[in-house]
Amino acid sequence: MYIRQLYTGCLSEAAYYIESEGEAAIVDPLRDIDVYLQLAAERKAVIKYIFETHFHADFVSGHLDLSKATGAPIIYGPETKTRFKVHVAKDGERFPLGKLSLEVLHTPGHTMESSCYLLYDEQQKAHALFSGDTLFVGDVGRPDLAQKGEILTMEDLAGMLYDSLHKKILPLPDDVIIYPAHGAGSSCGKNIGTETQSTIGEQKQTNYALLAETKEAFIKSVTDGLSAPPQYFPINAQINKEGYDPLQDILDKGLKALEVPEFKKLISEEDVIIIDSRPATEFVNGFVPGSLFLGLEGRFAEWAGSLLPFNKPIVLVTRKGEEKETVIRLARVGFSNFKGYLQGGFEAWQNADEKADLVISIEADELAMDLPFDNNLVVLDVRRETEYADGHVKKAINLPLQEMTDPGVLADFDDRMNLYVHCAGGYRSLIAVSLLKREGIHNLRNIEGGWNKIKEEKKIEIVKESSVLN
């Protein structure tokens, strides 16, 4: 028996490779499938099955491309309806894999078709549960992602999730390993733990949701304080349900090299989105005017899906050699409308003497010096509401980054204000600054190190919002 967790940090997503006697299965593959094909080839195994735990909302699965490449069937649990060919398994159905087998446990609650896969070892003893978004380390799947056409409330799904956990999962032996689909940082749960695997026994003792004494208490605990899901979740779920173009077709479009004159003509004549994926340290020193900063070093794809429309064409400015990675990571969350990338990157733009923009960055001590003397100074805090409530600069305006896609919200700002923008560490605030600059607001300063540095400044008055925290 061989199991490998293939974890993608920027999406907090875990896919799995399971193998026995030269037969392999993949659970919840990402859209870029080469890693699974290469692993199987290296181990001289044949991919026999592709198991999907549910219609993923936070990324586009690689099920279709992987099935086409291997001939392996795509397996979903009961109540699955798709526009492409899949094997809809029955609850309790078993699939042999070498000397192992996997049993389908239908566990509705996160979604209606959500299912877990229980792996039995060579002695047919329950060994591990691939729990999808039903059970995480320290959390359970969010119950507010009812799909289009389903007349279900969040409370309805939470009740189903309680029944699934208590009837299907908690009766399993305590030593069964839990392999979830996500880790810390994923928006698919409320507060997922930092570990990417656990056991049934450990979760019984430590998972807040499993400690609820009644069904009513469980429903309340998993629905209270649940933030709105990112705007791209229903789009990705629909793509996974209905199908998509092959990744190679998207790469062919995204990897079209555009010389400076062609790039300039394109962005001046068409309503395109310019994404600059270079590191923050490079972006602040110069960028093509109108570009949106989305550095590959952060939660790049997640923020792209949360902030950008899916119906507008995209052009890219990247570091040399990072063009393909940028396209793939955007395709993982459903973007497919690419026009190409700037050949030679921002350096080529500079060498052509084209107009450039930049970001003024300051340190927290400069904010401390300016605050008492500038009546037009406005501190814009783009962290989440709960982060802001736990401590913020007195009189700072809180506008969470994910809400800055509304032009009406940004209309409240203008160049008469001296805007000092920050987040927790600096990544989100630089995105916010680039969004504001796209709206023609340039009287901006980005605070390096964000809140992490601001809270160390003794001359800056800090307050909390107890009404939000309680």
* Residue-level pLDDT, tens digit, the chain, 470 residues: 999 999 999 899 999 999 999 999 999 999 999 999 999 999 999 999 999 999 999 999 999 999 999 999 999 999 999 999 999 999 999 999 999 999 999 999 999 999 999 999 999 999 999 999 999 999 999 999 877 667 789 999 999 999 999 999 999 999 999 999 999 999 999 889 999 999 999 999 999 999 999 999 999 999 998 888 999 999 999 999 999 999 999 999 999 999 999 999 999 999 999 999 999 999 999 999 999 999 999 899 999 999 999 999 999 999 999 999 999 999 999 999 999 999 999 999 999 999 999 999 999 999 999 999 888 899 999 999 999 999 999 999 999 999 998 878 888 888 889 999 999 999 999 999 999 999 999 999 999 999 999 999 999 999 998 655 44
197 and 344 in a single domain? The answer is no
Note whether 32 and 175 are same-domain residues.
yes
Does some domain include residue 459?
Answer: yes
* SS3 state of residue 318: coil
Query: CB–CB of 239/212 below 8 Å?
Result: no
Distance between CA atoms of residues 154 and 157, nearest Å: 5
- Give yes or no: residues 371 and 452 share one domain: yes
Same-domain status, 45 and 132: yes
CATH code assigned at 405:
3.40.250.10
State whether 274 and 220 are in the same domain: no
Question: Same domain, yes or no, for 157 and 281?
Answer: no
Rounded to the nearest 10 degrees, what angle do helices 215-223 and 154-164 cross at? 120
Looking at the fold, whether 53 and 93 belong to one and the same domain comes out as: yes
322 and 388 part of one domain: no
Out of 351, 375, 408, a domain closes at 351
Residues 49 and 83 in one domain: yes
Strands 392-393 and 115-120: unpaired
In a domain, 356, yes or no: no
Beta-carbon contacts of 216 under 8 Å, excluding residues fewer than 6 positions away, are none
224 within a domain of the structure (yes/no): yes
pTM of the predicted structure, to 2 decimals: 0.93
| 443 domain residue, yes or no | yes
Question: Same domain, yes or no, for 385 and 425?
Answer: yes
153 and 21 within one domain: yes
Instruction: List the domain range (segments joined by +) for residue 463.
Output: 361-469
Task: Give the H or E element holding residue 129.
Answer: strand 126-132
Structural domains counted in the chain:
3
